[in-house]
Chains A and B, each alone.
Chain A
């Protein structure tokens, strides 16, 4: 299948990636090629096949919901949490305003 330039631009925006016009063109070809390859899966009859929703399962190693006791334990110090942020203010991560005034 072949993606249009507009479809690639839409995917890039959904993925929050600013792309140059050259990148858009490049990815249009490359993503189309990978999706063509993925189309091989259409050869298979998947009626009645359950999806593998868990990375590991079965009798040897069941893993479904994993819960722990609701016990309060210490968190990282605030200064460690904020250390890598580009901007902070009053012990919080600072971002640009999202809502209009």
Chain B
């Protein structure tokens, strides 16, 4: 048995049967990280000692009869989620030596479920990006083609799971940062409804949009991680006090009579023909499984990008005001307090500076109504689009991204072209919907293509089951990228 080929769910079964131990598979994962991560750059920090200790503890717990959902299973965590005592950088030099004093809620949930955390994965700085090229540390490589980006901002998590350097991972999705890298890396990535996942201990980017999401190689893996980490947390005032249904048990694969909406605005000029044909074939497959396909309209889709690039930077400019060198991070001492703050904040990378300035401008006196105020109103129209669509259908099916993974450097200094990578994912963040990406094919270069399934508020179980039905009828999720060739 090659442990790298198992899914999370298969590993769980193997551990239950006693075919292997957590210590053995954790060591195997750590060995693979040593062997391959110098080529892929998924991890910013590997917590090998803590992982081996957690694995040994998990094996003892299992021997004592315990069987929690992730007992002994090695996973990875995006480095924007705080881990007590373990450096958490948010991909930024301004948090280079930041050691959080407490765990994020989702980390406590993972460890309570028995998970073994292998380390912290690379991200665009403060999750601002679509490729990991905005990380202050390193650009993660796409395991399917190491000259290409893994997507972002949760690209380190996606690449780690795709490359068999973790069995699942957590990311965050503010405008597509789980779904888009899942699409680029051939994974299942879920962005739950806003409020499903506590953001306690998650470093803030844009607070009305941020949400923790989960990556798996299969729908079941992704749903298992969601099930474990979702739930109400009174410490996050945006956390929803509603029960999380058993999404894993709800994976029946029966989608007969499911009404699937296809938004005409998502099949536009600029979408790669191979992406369009793969997504249309996937929709045909859903029909063959008994779903009813309905054309729907989300007429304000084209305004999602400009709305997002006013609201997200505005919120970011406020959230990132805290990085002034007083309470955490390095301090570049200047002539006086203001000078010190300005010099310290020069440690931000180019994209963060760009967005902080954009947000500062959009919120500034005289421009608030013209930019931020207007964006909030168009956000209402985008929400109404989704509400009207969900009055007609149960699930919306669309491409996750208009292209497959692009080459490293191709869009790095052209912000607008980079922002276009998220054109199909970010409208969801402006609404109250939930969504996921599931593999639906490969282009002629062998790069994965993702099908996006969007559900109404709190309907994660429904979209996961639709994705499961599709996955069970196809073979895409069984493909694995080759291990990097050692040079």
- Chain A residues within 8 Å of B, Cβ to Cβ: 8, 11-19, 23, 26-27, 30-31, 33-35, 37-42, 44, 46, 49-58, 60-61, 63, 66, 68, 76-77, 80-81, 83-87, 93, 95-98
Q: Which of B97, B339, B364, B378 has the most CB of A within 10 A?
A: B378
Closest-by-CB residue of B relative to A40 is B306
Bound-complex Cα distance A55 to B330 (A) = 33
Closest-by-CB residue of A relative to B311 is A52
Report B193 CB to chain A, min CB distance, Å: 7
- Chain B residues within 8 Å of A, Cβ to Cβ: 97-99, 101-102, 193-195, 207-209, 234, 237-238, 240, 242, 300, 302-303, 305-307, 309-310, 317, 321, 324-331, 333, 336-343, 345-346, 348, 350, 353-354, 356-358, 360-361, 364, 371, 373-381, 383, 415-416, 430, 432, 457-458
| Number of interchain pairs (Cβ within 8 Å) | 172
Bound-complex Cα distance A86 to B97 (A) = 11
**A8-B357, A34-B358, A63-B195 in contact; A18/B345 too (CB < 8 A)?**
yes
Q: Verify B353–A95 contact, CB threshold 8 A.
A: no
Q: Verify A38–B306 contact, CB threshold 8 A.
A: yes
Residues of B within 8 Å of A76, CB to CB, are 101-102
Residues of A within 8 Å of B364, CB to CB, are 11, 14
Residues of A within 8 Å of B432, CB to CB, are 55-58, 60-61
Report A62 CB to chain B, min CB distance, Å: 10
Q: Verify A31–B345 contact, CB threshold 8 A.
A: no
Report B80 CB to chain A, min CB distance, Å: 16
Report A11 CB to chain B, min CB distance, Å: 5
Tell me what chain B mostly uses at the interface: helix, strand, loop, or mixed. helix
Set B98, B317, B357: member contacting A84, Cβ < 8 A: B98
Q: Verify A15–B240 contact, CB threshold 8 A.
A: no
Residues of B within 8 Å of A98, CB to CB, are 337
Q: Verify B377–A12 contact, CB threshold 8 A.
A: no
Residues of A within 8 Å of B430, CB to CB, are 52
**A55-B209, A80-B101 in contact; A61/B358 too (CB < 8 A)?**
no
Q: Verify B309–A34 contact, CB threshold 8 A.
A: yes
Bound-complex Cα distance A10 to B56 (A) = 56
Bound-complex Cα distance A3 to B240 (A) = 41
Set B237, B242, B415: member contacting A33, Cβ < 8 A: B415
Q: Verify A16–B324 contact, CB threshold 8 A.
A: yes
Q: Verify A19–B353 contact, CB threshold 8 A.
A: yes
